[in-house]
Amino acid sequence: MSGIVSPQLQSWATAMAQGASPRATIEGMRRLGVSTDPQLLLLSPAASTDVRCLLAAEQLVHLVDGWRYAAAAMSAFLTHSNAAALHFAYYAELRAAISLMSWGGLRAKWHDYYYLDASGVRHTPHPTQNPPTHKAVWLLWREWAQKPDVEQLLLDNIRLMPNVYLRSVIGAVNFTLPHHALQQWGADLFDPSDDHDARNTASYQPILTNTDLTSMNVGQTNLVKALWELLLSQGYSLQFDSAFCAHLVNLTGKHLGPSGQPNFLSPNYYENLAQHIASETGAPGDEIRRRIDPLKYNFLPFDLASSNNTDVENVLCRSILLLRIALLATQNSLDSPGASSVPKKWLNRWLEHAGLWSQDQGIDPQDIHFEYSDALESFTTENPLPLSLWDRSNSWNSAALARPDACIAWSLTA
């Protein structure tokens, strides 16, 4: 994040982030809407005056809008419009961050910043501080992403397999390698706060006036494939979850190993790690060993997301991975005890609104996953690019892969 932050503004951000609690927003999600309302509004007239409901509704809307921006970014990327892709990917990041902070009880809105404590009471610390939205969001993000609430969200919801959570993986890594504890693994692993300047350049500068016209390369289409592999369902969660767990295991190996030798760890290390997780969880050790195998995954999206670079590939990866974490937070709220049925009904309506699903198809929303899985399998990336992506035989596949927002159907509506 560029620019100097005054002590007063930093104090404001710290107070906002540290005081906020997700309990209020989760309670607000339980109270959203009226299931008999023919318009199926997220905020019924009665709920609209409740700040807990307002923040819960905004969490959901920022999430779906973030995914729409990600879809616009992916579509631009698949047509080799990299400046437009970076522009949209940045806004996808922004909306993902705002959705996540809304879940955490923090409202990031210009002229109306506040947080809700665990009792749902609204607080406005340092009311004279009113920074512009973009500056405020990334300042708040850096404070908020380090909170125990965020840590708990990831540890207890990301799963390597159905009954093996990230908490067990992190514990096993730190037990097996006690002098090399894994520190950077949370939401702050993907820091988008420096992408704003890159977005300004992409959005407003006539870059092509003094830059060579380039050709799209297979590496870019392979990145699209790698991102989509993370978004497909593995039944109990997105494939992102298992890949993220394995990435962290592999990340430790990179930090410990010689330069340029990322998979140096011996099979015994993975075997010992798997057995430790198995002893803690009761899950079969051979299946754990298979799922933490670094050769099973393509870690490129994680590597690009955690890089300090702000090229279109980096920003696109950060946007998708942050949106996945925002999905996780929303799922956490929707599945909480006593949750209202209205948000999921509203999401079904949103899928129709967005052209991703229709009741007339006669299938459940989550089952459209198979169409996108088929599109990924059939997607071909031959030269000349991007022309071949949009020829008659490949255009349906490309059109499907330009809609990563479809993963909402198999993530939140079941």
| Domain ranges for the chain | 15-208+218-412
Q: What is the rounded CA–CA span in Å between residue 180 and residue 92?
A: 34
Over the chain (414 residues), what is each successive 10-residue block's mean pLDDT? 80 96 94 71 84 96 98 98 95 95 96 96 92 92 89 93 94 66 51 74 77 91 98 95 91 56 62 93 96 94 90 95 95 91 92 96 95 98 96 96 98 86
Q: Quick one: which of 343, 411, 325, 350 has its CA closest to 29? A: 343
> Radius of gyration of the chain from Cα atoms?
21
CA distances from 140 to 19, 97, 181, 274, 339 (A): 12, 9, 27, 37, 28
* pLDDT given at position 200: 75
Q: What is the rounded CA–CA span in Å between residue 51 and residue 366?
A: 31
133 CB neighbour count, 10 Å cutoff: 14
Pair 300, 314: CB distance under 8 Å: no
Tell me the backbone φ, ψ of residue 335, rounded to 5 degrees: -95, 5
- Return the bridge partners of 165, or none: 159
Secondary structure class of 387 (helix, strand, coil): helix
* pLDDT given at position 261: 46
Tell me the backbone φ, ψ of residue 160, rounded to 5 degrees: -75, -40
* pLDDT given at position 37: 65
Collect all residues with Cβ–Cβ distance below 8 Å to 275 and sequence separation of at least 6. 285
Q: Quick one: which of 153, 169, 151 has its CA closest to 283? A: 169
Quick one: tokens of 309?
A: 């670079």
The DSSP 8-state label assigned to residue 219 in this structure reads H
* pLDDT given at position 201: 76
Pair 291, 160: CB distance under 8 Å: yes
* pLDDT given at position 35: 61
CA torsion angle 359 363 364 367 (round to 10): -130
Tokens 């437009």 sit at which residue? 84
Structure pTM? Answer: 0.92
Q: Quick one: which of 131, 65, 157, 146 has its CA closest to 101? A: 146
Pair 395, 386: CB distance under 8 Å: no
Quick one: tokens of 101?
A: 């902070």
* pLDDT given at position 259: 47
* pLDDT given at position 243: 96
Look at the alpha carbons of 145, 147, 148, 149 in this order and tell me if their dihedral is positive or negative. Answer: negative
The DSSP 8-state label assigned to residue 164 in this structure reads E
* pLDDT given at position 196: 77
- Return the bridge partners of 238, or none: 233
* pLDDT given at position 262: 42
Q: Quick one: which of 237, 239, 223, 228 has its CA closest to 376? A: 228
* pLDDT given at position 249: 87
DSSP run (H or E) holding 54 = helix 51-78
Q: What is the rounded CA–CA span in Å between residue 412 and residue 142?
A: 27
